[in-house]
């Protein structure tokens, strides 16, 4: 028995530990499992080839890479790139020398890995050959082998910085604990490397988190007494306590919290219930100015909606305490006004994690089935149907009034129109729309 620990991918496992078979693009070849150890697709000349190299080297047994297909993938040309890699290697920029497709750069591999692959693995070019001819070639090279191969997937990946700045992210969370988990995950996976005044970070710009049920909750890694102490002694304490500021001092004294509450009581529909915590005369000069700069309360439909803006937000360590304090503040204002709770929105202009704390993350990068339940969309719902060779989508409000109608000749056009003119739906509803359009497209064929 042989155990292979490989990255996940679009491949199948056979019984011959010496042969890897590559299917270019949509091409598929039906081979006996005794003729290959791993067989999978290749669509791109960058990430696709990187995965082949890593997985082939991890097996420790594969000697032959057999390339099959009947036509190369337009624009990307992974077959041509793979041949060029074996013939020429890569340049100093990790670009495959002589590859003509889009972005044939193996930036996630070292030159040592690439050279080891080129020297250890023999390329068997069967591109354009018939399956019977390919099977004959394989039997001549290695013959039929019936070895039990056990596959174990690698579940932990190295958290590399994202290659470009991500600006503008919307996250919907069920509660404050869910908000922290999703925000932390997002910054860890998609954060661009930025050297701040306090050291290297992974950063996303303008991350907005909508918390649908924002009651105060206990975080699994923080004792309740620590959260309560933070709220009592810092977040809602009017005294500075020797530091440059506390949120309590800024909220209660500098921003006149009680005056804002009076304004809300006297004029519930106001848009002027604003707390500004940033002091421009001092905060550009002090070592540690406040990260939370702005709080606004809005009462609509007898519900309180709270929006908070952070100029800078450490989502791994500070976020849980901040969320707990904001949730307690939101709860307090609801009671003062005698209204129900709406959403809390947290806008983090710089949402980041310091690189020296990344090791604290226990991040599962392989997502499996989770329990879910249907959630109503605040923008209503959509019905999709065919009529007179057109695909039609009718958008209804939550109270069943028609809002707008999309009428298109193709599913592609309809998807683009909905994406442009109906922004803000829950992500799972866009996925559902795509599925329904796909069903109608099949009916047309």
Domain 2-153 matches domain 167-359 at the CATH topology level: no
Is the domain covering 2-153 a CATH 1.20.1440 domain?
Answer: no
- Asked whether the beta carbons of 106 and 49 are under 8 A apart, the reply is yes
Six-digit token string for 89: 């290697």
Beta bridge partners of 394: 383, 405
- Asked whether the beta carbons of 210 and 345 are under 8 A apart, the reply is yes
Q: How far apart are CA 409 and CA 391, in angstroms?
A: 6
Tell me the H-state helices in 213-354. 224-230, 247-249, 257-266, 319-337
Tell me the H-state helices in 173-316. 176-190, 224-230, 247-249, 257-266
Question: What is the pLDDT at residue 368?
Answer: 60
Q: How confident is the model over 309-350, as pLDDT tens digits?
A: 999 999 998 999 999 999 999 999 999 999 999 999 999 999
CATH code for 167-359?
A: 3.30.572.10
How would you classify the pairing of strands 38-42 and 11-13?
antiparallel
Indicate the helix (H) or strand (E) that contains 136: helix 131-141
Query: Catalytic residues, which ones?
Result: 291
Six-digit token string for 247: 């949120």
Q: What percent of the chain has pLDDT over 90?
A: 73
Q: What is the pTM of this model?
A: 0.70
Helix (H, G, I), strand (E, B) or coil at 442: helix
Environment class of 147 (CB within 10 Å of its CB; exposed 0-12, middle 13-18, buried 19+)? middle
Question: What is the pLDDT at residue 63?
Answer: 95
Residues of the chain with pLDDT under 70: 155-158, 241-243, 362-370, 444-445
Q: How far apart are CA 121 and CA 112, in angstroms?
A: 14
Q: Report which of 329, 224, 314 is spatially closest to residue 277, judged by C-alpha positions.
A: 329
Q: Report which of 286, 281, 215, 292 is spatially closest to residue 247, judged by C-alpha positions.
A: 292
Question: What is the pLDDT at residue 190?
Answer: 94
**Domain boundaries along the sequence of the chain:** 2-153, 167-359, 381-444
Q: What angle do CA 128, 132, 133 make, to 5 degrees?
A: 55
Q: How confident is the model over 261-291, as pLDDT tens digits?
A: 999 999 999 999 999 999 999 999 887 899 9
Tell me the H-state helices in 158-301. 176-190, 224-230, 247-249, 257-266
DSSP line for 392-414: EEEEE-TTS-EEEEEEESSHHHH
DSSP state of 130: -
Helix (H, G, I), strand (E, B) or coil at 77: coil
Q: Report which of 179, 177, 161 is spatially closest to residue 169, judged by C-alpha positions.
A: 179
């Amino acid at each position: 028995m042989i155990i292979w620990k490989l990255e996940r991918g679009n491949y199948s496992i056979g019984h011959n530990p010496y042969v890897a078979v590559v299917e270019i693009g949509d091409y598929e070849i039906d081979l006996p499992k005794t003729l290959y150890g791993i067989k999978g697709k290749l669509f791109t000349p960058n990430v696709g080839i990187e995965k082949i190299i890593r997985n082939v080297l991890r097996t420790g047994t594969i000697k032959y890479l057999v390339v099959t297909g009947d036509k190369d993938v337009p624009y990307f040309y992974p077959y041509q790139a793979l041949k060029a890699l074996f013939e020429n290697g890569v340049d100093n920029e990790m670009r495959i020398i002589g590859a003509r497709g889009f972005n044939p750069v193996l930036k996630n591999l070292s030159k040592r890995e690439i050279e080891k692959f080129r020297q250890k693995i023999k390329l068997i070019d069967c591109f354009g050959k018939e399956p019977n001819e390919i099977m004959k070639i394989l039997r001549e090279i290695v013959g039929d082998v019936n070895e039990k191969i056990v596959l174990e997937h690698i579940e932990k990946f190295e958290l590399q910085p994202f290659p470009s700045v991500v600006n503008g992210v919307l996250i919907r969370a069920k509660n404050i604990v869910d908000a922290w988990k999703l925000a932390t995950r997002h910054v860890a996976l998609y954060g661009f490397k930025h050297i701040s005044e306090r050291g290297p970070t992974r950063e996303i710009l303008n991350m907005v988190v909508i918390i649908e049920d924002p009651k105060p909750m206990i975080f699994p890694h923080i004792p309740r007494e620590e959260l309560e102490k933070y709220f009592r002694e810092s977040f809602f304490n009017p005294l500075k306590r020797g530091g440059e500021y506390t949120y309590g001092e800024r909220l209660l004294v500098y921003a006149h919290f009680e005056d804002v509450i009076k304004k809300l009581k006297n004029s519930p529909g106001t848009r002027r219930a604003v707390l500004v915590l940033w002091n421009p005369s001092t905060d550009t000069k002090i070592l540690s100015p406040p990260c939370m700069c702005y709080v606004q309360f809005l009462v609509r439909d007898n519900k309180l909606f709270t929006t908070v803006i952070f100029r800078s937000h450490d989502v791994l360590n500070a976020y849980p305490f901040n969320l707990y304090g904001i949730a307690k503040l939101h709860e307090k204002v609801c009671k003062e006004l005698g209204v129900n709770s709406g959403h809390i929105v947290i806008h983090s202009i710089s949402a980041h994690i310091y690189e020296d704390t990344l090791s604290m993350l226990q991040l599962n990068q392989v997502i499996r089935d989770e329990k879910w339940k249907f959630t109503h969309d605040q923008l209503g719902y959509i019905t999709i149907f065919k009529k007179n060779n057109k695909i039609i989508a009718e958008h209804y409000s939550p109270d069943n009034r028609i809002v707008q109608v999309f009428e298109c000749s193709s599913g592609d056009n309809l998807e683009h129109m909905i994406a442009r003119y109906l922004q803000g739906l829950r992500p799972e509803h866009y996925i559902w729309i795509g599925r329904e359009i796909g069903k109608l497209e099949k009916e047309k064929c």
